[in-house]
Amino acid sequence: MAGSDQGGTDQSTLREEETRSQAAETETDAAEVDAAGNSASARDEVDSAENAQRSIRDMLDEEGGASVFDNRDLVEPDTIIDEERIVGRDDQLESVVSFLKPTLQGNRPPNMLLYGPAGTGKSLIVGAVTEQIIELCKSKGERFGVVSINCQPINTLDQAVYELVQTVAKNVGAEVGVPETGVSTKRKYRRLYELINENYDSVIFILDEIDLLVGRRANDEPAYSKLLYQLSRASNTNEIEGRVSVAALTNDPKFMENIDGRAESSFNPRDVYFPDYDANQLRQILKNRRDAFRPDALEDDVIPLVAAFAAQSHGDARKAIDLFRGAGDLADERGEEEVREEHVRESQEEIDKDRSLKLVEGLTTQKKISLYATAAVARHSRRSGSSVPSPVGFKVYQWVTDELDADQMTRETYVKYVKELSTYGLISTSRKSRGRGGGMYMEFTFTGDPTAIMDRIVEDTRLETIGGQDELLQSVVNAQLNEFHEK
Ligand SMILES: Nc1ncnc2c1ncn2[C@@H]1O[C@H](COP(=O)(O)OP(=O)(O)OP(=O)(O)O)[C@@H](O)[C@H]1O
């Protein structure tokens, strides 16, 4: 069973869903009978429709008045902002500009590794520079292509190559020209190179969250390593005729330690480091987007407070911008004309509560099991501190899957799933060494309460049987922790 991505289908859940939809159909029938009865008086119907319309308009008039926003787009997470709104990234901008400048002189730029914590401007900077290069190249009649993908939702090398094909096809308005499944990865690479050769003189691949492209097979070279190897040598092998460079973006400062020697020497990147922001920089980032709001709609203490909250959560500019927008939305929802400190505080509370628990509900069964096992270690550990070494988390994961008679993933996939959750702020990850010759492992730490997460997971009917086994789970956790620390 190992290696498959899905838990077994739960027949009783499916039956429940069938029953629910039958019930919904019956309700619809009843409503039609009702409506047929009432239609005896056509006049009444028109009257009530008019009333309904009036009251909707009244409601809209009441709440749709003055929004606190003037230009809400400016505080949307994916808006590409103008250069003059960028704060505190002069060194990184300078480095990326100098690395990519050769493109304009007809030379091949070096590959790059942009690394640093989440929300520190990696995508922003590489996006802002490549956007300018596209413009400058266009004016010279050079065709410069930017092929950008996020590897986080992608599981395999094959899917990654397909995603690249799709992205180029979309950029140039061509047919994808290759099916998603049923053909070899090699064929997808061929289509990718064909599209690039037909449309671009030079190209940069931007691979965001590259460290999450692990692949599925155990004891095999990780998918990111293979992809970096292929793409960075594609121009040496003449598969791509023009100039190629690859920019890999990651939160993992030790990323290069995990890539295969072959990939390391062909990728051989120039590094650009993105440190997290302090409260002053976050304040400046927000001030530069102040015009997202009406001039008189922000109380003075809003920006400092948003910046202070975001500085606490690892200086992440995305979180600062999300909270800024959230506070504005809350003021709008309540029909208030000013964003005040209380809107920021409440919005932050909502974000904290919602983020973890809502996210947990939407996870696939396998991700829920991975998270449950990891949270169980944090909750039941009798050792001081509640960080979870990944080898222990994986052993407990195996125990849980056995208990549930569910599929079992490889250790790499387990680690990938748990690492993914760090991008949502549920946990933080760090890489640890077991000392001389002992190898490396990941360590997971929960930012919130692991028990609340476990409780939410066992609400899933497929996993509820595991919920009643706390004592057993506690002894499994501590036996595994002891074994790990004695090694
Ligand atoms: N220096 C900055 N000045 C202005 N806005 C910024 C700055 N840095 C980041 N932002 C904004 O914060 C958000 C997140 O930035 P970005 O996506 O570039 O981060 P990242 O480092 O690529 O994050 P991740 O590792 O999570 O992908 C974006 O909306 C971006 O516009």
Residue with tokens 């501590």: 478
Atom of ligand 1 nearest to the CA of 81: 31
Choose one of 120, 306, 421 to mutate for the ligand 1 pocket test, by most ligand atoms within 8 angstroms of C-beta.
120
Could you tell me if the CB of 8 is within 6 A of ligand 1? no
User: Start-end ranges of CATH 1.10.8.60 in the chain?
Assistant: 277-351
Atom of ligand 1 nearest to the CA of 317: 12
Centroid of ligand 1 to alpha carbon of 37 (angstroms): 58
Q: Is position 120 annotated in a ligand binding site? A: yes
Name the more confident of 352 and 174: 174
Asked if residue 400 has pLDDT above 60, the reply is yes
- pLDDT for 51 equals 57
- pLDDT for 160 equals 96
Taking CA atoms only, the protein residue closest to ligand 1 atom 1 is 87
Asked if residue 103 has pLDDT above 80, the reply is yes
User: Start-end ranges of CATH 1.10.10.10 in the chain?
Assistant: 362-486
Could you tell me if the CB of 304 is within 6 A of ligand 1? no
Helix, strand or coil for residue 468?
helix
- pLDDT for 54 equals 60
Asked whether 77 and 66 are in contact (CB, 8 A), the reply is: no
How many other C-beta atoms are found inside a 10 Å radius of the C-beta of residue 257?
Answer: 10
Q: Environment class of residue 438 by beta-carbon count within 10 Å: exposed (0-12), middle (13-18) or buried (19+)?
A: exposed
% of residues, the chain, pLDDT over 70? 83
Query: What is the DSSP pairing of strand 440-446 with strand 427-433?
Result: antiparallel
Q: Which residue in 467, 471, 448, 451 sits closest to 459, CA to CA? A: 467
Atom of ligand 1 nearest to the CA of 89: 1
- pLDDT for 29 equals 37
Helix, strand or coil for residue 7?
coil
Q: Is position 15 annotated in a ligand binding site? A: no
Could you tell me if the CB of 429 is within 6 A of ligand 1? no
Could you tell me if the CB of 292 is within 6 A of ligand 1? no
- pLDDT for 49 equals 55
Atom of ligand 1 nearest to the CA of 77: 29
Phi, psi of 207 (to 5 degrees): -110, 100
Q: Is position 121 annotated in a ligand binding site? A: yes
Query: How far is residue 377's CA from residue 388's CA, in Å, rounded to a whole number?
Result: 6
Asked if residue 9 has pLDDT above 70, the reply is no
- pLDDT for 267 equals 94
Q: Which residue in 348, 274, 351 sits closest to 315, CA to CA? A: 274
- pLDDT for 2 equals 33
Could you tell me if the CB of 281 is within 6 A of ligand 1? no
How far, in Å, are 136, 215, 233, 432 from residue 125 at the CA level? 17, 28, 25, 30
421-435 pLDDT, tens digit each: 877 677 888 888 877
Centroid of ligand 1 to alpha carbon of 72 (angstroms): 17
ipTM for the complex?
0.98
What is the enclosing helix (H) or strand (E) of 180?
none
User: Start-end ranges of CATH 3.40.50.300 in the chain?
Assistant: 89-273
241-258 pLDDT, tens digit each: 999 999 999 988 888 988
Could you tell me if the CB of 88 is within 6 A of ligand 1? yes
Atom of ligand 1 nearest to the CA of 86: 3
Domain 362-486 has CATH 1.10.10.10: yes
Q: Which residue in 323, 231, 288, 276 sits closest to 120, CA to CA? A: 276
For the ranges 107-121, 187-201, 416-430, the lowest mean pLDDT is seen at: 416-430
Query: Which neighbouring-strand residues pair with 243?
Result: 202
- pLDDT for 64 equals 52
For the ranges 181-185, 204-208, 452-456, the lowest mean pLDDT is seen at: 452-456
Taking CA atoms only, the protein residue closest to ligand 1 atom 4 is 86
Could you tell me if the CB of 250 is within 6 A of ligand 1? no
Name the more confident of 119 and 351: 119
Could you tell me if the CB of 321 is within 6 A of ligand 1? yes
- pLDDT for 85 equals 93
Centroid of ligand 1 to alpha carbon of 313 (angstroms): 14
Query: How far is residue 280's CA from residue 404's CA, in Å, rounded to a whole number?
Result: 49
Query: What is the DSSP pairing of strand 144-150 with strand 243-250?
Result: unpaired
Helix, strand or coil for residue 367?
helix
Mean pLDDT value across the chain: 85
Could you tell me if the CB of 124 is within 6 A of ligand 1? yes
Choose one of 84, 115, 123, 303 to mutate for the ligand 1 pocket test, by most ligand atoms within 8 angstroms of C-beta.
123
- The CATH H-level (homologous superfamily) assignment of domain 89-273 is P-loop containing nucleotide triphosphate hydrolases (3.40.50.300)
The count of C-alpha atoms lying within 13 angstroms of the C-alpha of 16, restricted to the half-sphere facing its C-beta, is: 7
Domain 277-351 adopts which CATH fold? Helicase, Ruva Protein; domain 3 (1.10.8)
Classify the C-alpha dihedral 187-192-196-202 as positive or negative: negative
Query: Which neighbouring-strand residues pair with 11?
Result: none
The count of C-alpha atoms lying within 13 angstroms of the C-alpha of 345, restricted to the half-sphere facing its C-beta, is: 4
Q: What single string gives the DSSP state of each residue in 369-416?
A: HHHHHHHHHHHH--SSS--EEHHHHHHHHHHHHHHHT-----HHHHHH
**How is residue 67 annotated by DSSP?**
-
Asked whether 367 and 153 are in contact (CB, 8 A), the reply is: no
Classify the C-alpha dihedral 403-406-412-414 as positive or negative: negative
Q: What is the mean pLDDT of residues 95-101?
A: 96
Asked if residue 349 has pLDDT above 80, the reply is yes
Atom of ligand 1 nearest to the CA of 125: 18
Query: Which neighbouring-strand residues pair with 443?
Result: 389, 430
30-89 pLDDT, tens digit each: 333 333 344 444 545 545 555 555 676 666 666 556 899 999 999 998 888 888 999 999
Asked whether 263 and 225 are in contact (CB, 8 A), the reply is: yes
Atom of ligand 1 nearest to the CA of 251: 25
Centroid of ligand 1 to alpha carbon of 378 (angstroms): 31
Name the more confident of 315 and 373: 373
Helix, strand or coil for residue 148?
strand
Q: What is the chain's alpha carbon radius of gyration, rounded to the nearest angstrom?
A: 26
10-33 pLDDT, tens digit each: 433 333 333 343 434 333 333 333
